[in-house]
Structure 1
Amino acid sequence: MSLSASLSIATSGLNAAQYAMNVASQNVANAGTSGYAAETANVRARDTNGVGSGVNAGPTTLATDAPLQKALLTQNAETASLSAQNAALSAVSAVQGSTTAAAGSSGTLPDQLGNVQSAMIALVATPDSATAQQNVVAAAGNLVSTVHTLADTYQQQRQNAQDAIVGSVGSINTSLTTIGTLSTQIMRLQSQGVSTADLENQRNTVVTDLSNQLSISTQVVSNGDMSVRTADGLLLPTHDIDGTTNGAISSQWPLSTSAATVTVGAAYPGTSAANALPAVTLVGRDVTSLMRGGTLGGNIALRDTTLPTMQAQLDSFSYTLASRFQQQGIGLFSGSNGSLPSAAGDATAPDGTVGFAQDLQVSRGYAGNASALVNGSKGDTTALQNVLDGGFAGGQVSAPVSGLGINGNLAIGYDGAQGLVALSTSMTAAQASVISDVSGNLDTAQATQTSLSGKLGSATGVSIDREMANIVTLQNAYTANAKVVSAVQSMFQSLLNAIGG
Structure 2
Amino acid sequence: MSIGTGLSIANSGLAAIQAQLAVVSQNIANANTAGYSAEAATLTATSAQGLGSGVISGPATQLVNASMQAQVNAAVGNQSFQQTTAQSLSGIDQVMGTPGQGNDLSSLLGNLQSGFATLLTNPANTVQQSAVVASAQTLARQINSISSAIGNATQTASTGVAAGITSLNTSLTQVGTLNNQIISLSQQGKSTADLKNQRDALVQTIASLTGAKSIAQPSGAISLYTPSGQQLPTAGASAFQASGNPPIITLGSQTVTGTFTAGSIGAGLQLATTTLPGLQSNLDSFAQSLASGFAATGLTLFSDPSGNVPSTASGFASVIAVNPQVVATPSLVRDGTPASALNPTGDAGFTGVISAILSSAATAPGGTLATAATNVTANQAALSSNAQTASTAAASLSTALTNQASSTSGVSIDQQMGLLVTLQNAYAANAKVVTIAQQMWAAQEAMIS
Give TM-score, length-normalised by structure 2: 0.93
CA distance in 1, matches of 2:313, 2:292: 12
Which residue of the partner structure matches residue 55 of structure 2?
A: 55
CA distance in 2, matches of 1:370, 1:204: 68
1:43 and 2:43 matched: yes
Deviation at 1:100, TM superposition (A): 5.0
Which residue of the partner structure matches residue 105 of structure 2?
A: 109
1:353 and 2:324 matched: no
Deviation at 1:79, TM superposition (A): 1.1
1:76 and 2:61 matched: no
2:99–2:107 CA contact under 8 A, matched in 1: no
1:455 and 2:404 matched: yes
- Post-superposition Cα deviations, 1:246-295, rounded to whole Å, max 9, x if no partner, equal xxxxxxx221113x4x5xxxxxxxxxxxxxx4411122211111112222
Deviation at 1:53, TM superposition (A): 2.1
2:77–2:209 CA contact under 8 A, matched in 1: yes
2:213–2:225 CA contact under 8 A, matched in 1: yes
1:386 and 2:376 matched: no
2:162–2:247 CA contact under 8 A, matched in 1: no
1:97–1:107 CA contact under 8 A, matched in 2: yes
1:494 and 2:405 matched: no
1:40 partner SS: strand
What is the 5 A alignment of 1:227-238?
A: 227-238=223-234
Tell me which amino acid in the other structure corresponds to 1:386. Answer: A
CA distance in 1, matches of 2:49, 2:56: 15
- Post-superposition Cα deviations, 1:91-139, rounded to whole Å, max 9, x if no partner, equal 10001123353xxxx2111111111100111111111111121111111
Structure 1 runs not aligned, ≥5 long: 245-252, 263-276, 343-351, 395-416
Deviation at 1:418, TM superposition (A): 5.6
- Post-superposition Cα deviations, 1:187-214, rounded to whole Å, max 9, x if no partner, equal 1111100111111111111112222212
1:467 and 2:436 matched: no
Which residue of the partner structure matches residue 398 of structure 1?
A: none
CA distance in 1, matches of 2:98, 2:303: 27
CA distance in 2, matches of 1:197, 1:50: 33
1:189–1:196 CA contact under 8 A, matched in 2: yes
1:4 and 2:4 matched: yes
CA distance in 1, matches of 2:367, 2:183: 66
CA distance in 1, matches of 2:441, 2:295: 112
2:248 partner SS: coil
Which residue of the partner structure matches residue 132 of structure 2?
A: 136
Which residue of the partner structure matches residue 368 of structure 1?
A: 328
Deviation at 1:180, TM superposition (A): 1.0
Which residue of the partner structure matches residue 258 of structure 2?
A: 289
1:187–1:223 CA contact under 8 A, matched in 2: yes
Which residue of the partner structure matches residue 346 of structure 1?
A: none
2:9–2:55 CA contact under 8 A, matched in 1: yes
What is the 5 A alignment of 1:159-238?
A: 159-238=155-234
CA distance in 1, matches of 2:320, 2:172: 47
CA distance in 2, matches of 1:444, 1:317: 33
Structure 2 runs not aligned, ≥5 long: 340-345
CA distance in 2, matches of 1:45, 1:292: 51
Q: Percent same amino acid at aligned positions?
A: 35
Deviation at 1:236, TM superposition (A): 0.5
Tell me which amino acid in the other structure corresponds to 1:388. Answer: L
